[in-house]
Chains A and B, each alone.
Chain A
Amino acid sequence: MEMDDTQMQTPPFEGINILDFTWTGTGPFSLNPLAFYGATIIKVESRERPDALRSLGPFKDGVAAPEQSYYFAYCQTGKRYNITLNMSHPEAKELVKRLVVWADIVADSYATGTMEKWGLDYDNLKKIKPDIIMLRTCMHGHTGPLAGHHGQGFILTALSGVDSILGWPDRPPAGAFGALTDFIAPQFNSVCLIAALDYRRRTGKGQYIDQSQHEAAMQLITPLILDYTANQRDLTPRCNRLDNAAPHGIYRCRGDDIWCAIAVFTDDEWKSFCRIIGQPALAKDSKFATLSQRKQNEDELDRIVEEWTVKHSPREVMDLMQAARVAAGVVADARDQAEDPQLMHYNFFEEREHPVIGKIPFYHGPCFRLSETPYEIGRATMIGEHNEYVFTELLGLSDEEWARLMAEGVI
């Protein structure tokens, strides 16, 4: 497709301004895609209570310092300006109002109470800027008895059913690794925010988005909820098995704690599989010839599969199987992931230099690629890093006033 260079280089969200009161994972992840494509974000922190992730490791050199958290850095790969405001100070509230006038989107990720206390609830924002778009995301949404409830994604996986699908039938669930809802919920928010920007462009109307991260995360298991509401059947963990495939699982490979995934759906794939493991006769064995036979004898089948996989590296298994059109993949550890040729092909993880952390290689952009519009990623900001720029150049305060506000602890 041909376009002239100027069109190609104009980021679509250039001129879209976001006042960012979010912290931890979900909020920043919701806004990052807009920043990747040109939106300007001002992140508001306070010196007394910085972003909670700044105190969550892993840390550079193991030092629990605010500018050394890899966790914080990972969530802030959309370019931002960073300012500090002491919101308990009356003058800070006046400054914020001016930033609301500047903003197209105001976002926060607090439970009900904090934005209200600061006079920044939607009704107030609308008075300052009638077409403002407000994104609020918290555990349970901003209505109902749990509106003021504090929580976090490491445990929200429990309420949303994500933990219950990750376990063995004979044990309590192992649960999700990490705060998986912090990676589910924000995707819905990005969708809503961009739709709201388009809606405002067409109608001149703003929008209020009230996300319960719990409600958003449950969307992924809708069929399992319907199985309960329509069939009264509750969820039981099934681990690595799937109704319409066998073998389907994670199998031990050569070495210590080394694994591969294999999934065989069709009888043709089964024949190829048997050929590769050097047992073509198995394909006709009446215990395994059809999917239903393989499901019936799945324990025995899994043992046969593993007798072969333990003699191979996961890379060999994947290459041999995929060459024969059978689904298989390395169970990648951090090193495999860092060296994965497909992730590298997409240049997914990129290195950026941070003034305190130094070079770290896990900055990332969007999880898709647009054919015509490039994206840009940034590095994590430091507390108050852009106070001078934002308050003097953007808001036009004099140097003297800026110095006074600093001295009096307003910013």
Chain B
Amino acid sequence: MGKLSKKSTVSNNEGMLSPYRVLDLTDQRGYLSGKLFGDLGADVIKMETPEGDPGRSLGPFYHDIPDPEKSLYWMGFNTNKRGITLNIKRKKGQEIFKQLCRTADFIIESFNPGYMDKLGLGYSTLSEINPGIIMASITGFGQDGPYKDYKAPDIVLWALSGLGFVTGDPDRPPISPGYPISYFFSAIQAVIGSLIALYSRGITGRGQYIDAVTLLGLAWATGPEVQGLWPTNKQIVKRTGRIWPRPQVRASGEVSYIDVPLIYPCKDGSVKFFPFVEPGMLPSTNGLTQWVVEDGMASETLQYVDWSTWNWQTVTQDAVDEIVESFSRFFMNHTKSELWNGAQERGIQLYPVFTPTDMLEFPQLTVRQYWEEVEHPELGDNIVYPGAFTKLSDGSCKIRRRAPLIGEHNEEIYFGELGLSKEELVLLKQDRII
């Protein structure tokens, strides 16, 4: 377990992006954007409606209590942010927002296209107030084009991107992640775009606008296996579940496939292994082969296979099936942890299929202090979080504070920084502006 982070409720902005301020207007589609800025030290102000962000209604919940202050979804993706409430639909709220824009470097939002413009808070207006401002919008389909106003929940983007069609077992419908991940492919991209704009601002002195498009991020992630064979060979790649088909392309352009499993059941779960024989992967495949032979589980073909001359373009499915059969029997004879430990000793590229239980027990993550224990005084508890997304030499990528409570930093920011009086704050609260 990682060290107890005593800094979870203390402001500490050291980090590569520490001079910068981010106004984070995103919902669950874009939380990760602001979090990455915060992880690198930026001062991220998460702005919520006075009743709390809609993403607070997403489960799972702490101790299964459905309460806006107990959403683990909210907590997980809003660390390293301060939180204020502001109703930007109201005129007074818009005035305050514009004031905050004067001292901000970045704005990130994930409303439907055109929403900020409709409120009079579009990029063109905000850049007049602060010409250096960099604004990123995270949407499913982008700010323009024939689908721009289409509804774009995770599953629809997953489907249209091409990932849906190729994911899942062949005898059942295609599947989407049981836990939505589509928008992460634009939330992180929005940060990349924003930082390029920042670097550019250092040259031009001007900010700009970033259109981060989930469909593009997911279409990129379908990769060349899907896209490579359609235009050239008119071949449609289908979903094959645990099997990974390796294409054999004839000179005529005709394509057939050799089926090789990637995921194999074992005694207490599943493991993932692929008999690559490409450079660097030969020792792994040889290592497993030798182990299977030692265990007396190898068929004759596997015993005498020479992986160094193996050619996926010419092998037959029968030969592969026979080898796979030996591997399968061998795996079923061992547990995940036996296979993992043996794989380590023998230099085999094999991974057990992990769920969080396995992750928390994985020694490598503990040694690297991946897990961070974050104080939640409001719950009277500490919760273990996945920590830094990367390790920097100065250790500055880390969790500095837990996710904010609703309006937790209203006073700090409105009174302390914007210079509003306590009386004004009370009025704003009564008027449901904050």
Contact = CB atoms under 8 A, between A and B. Distances in A.
Contacts of A340: 160, 219
Nearest to A321: B151
Nearest to B63: A231
A70 B223 CA distance: 10
Contact of B160 (A154, A221, A329): A329
Nearest to A60: B232
Interface string A144-157: 11100111101111
Contact of B186 (A156, A332, A360, A368): A368
A217 to B, nearest CB: 10
Interface in A355-386: 360-362, 364, 366-373
A172 interface: yes
A13 B195 CA distance: 11
Contacts of B391: 141, 143, 209-212
B200 A12 contact: yes
Q: How large is the interface on A (under 10, 10 to 19, 20 to 34, 35 or more residues)?
A: 35 or more
Interface residues of B, number: 166
A5 B256 CA distance: 51
A325 B150 CA distance: 7
A5 to B, nearest CB: 12
B52 interface: no
Nearest to A183: B221
B188 A187 contact: yes
Interface string B204-245: 101011111101110111111111111110011111011010
Given A198-B199, A228-B356, A221 B216 contact: no
Nearest to A325: B151
Interface stretch (A285-293, A341-349, A391-399, A403-411): A341-349
Contacts, number: 533
Contacts of A187: 185, 188-189, 192
Interface stretch (A81-89, A93-101, A161-169, A274-282): A161-169
Q: Find the residue from B151, B163, B213 having the highest chain A CB count within 10 A.
A: B151
A348 B222 CA distance: 13
A195 interface: yes
A190 interface: yes
Q: Find the residue from A141, A177, A180, A336 having the highest chain B CB count within 10 A.
A: A177
B192 A33 contact: yes
A166 B164 CA distance: 11
Interface in B350-387: 350-357, 359-360, 362-365, 367-368, 370, 381, 383-386
Interface in A116-155: 122, 140-141, 143-146, 149-152, 154-155
A301 B276 CA distance: 44
22 contacts: A37-B200, A60-B232, A141-B391, A143-B391, A154-B272, A160-B354, A175-B263, A175-B272, A188-B389, A194-B192, A194-B198, A207-B393, A231-B72, A257-B238, A261-B176, A327-B155, A332-B162, A334-B237, A337-B219, A371-B209, A372-B206, A373-B197
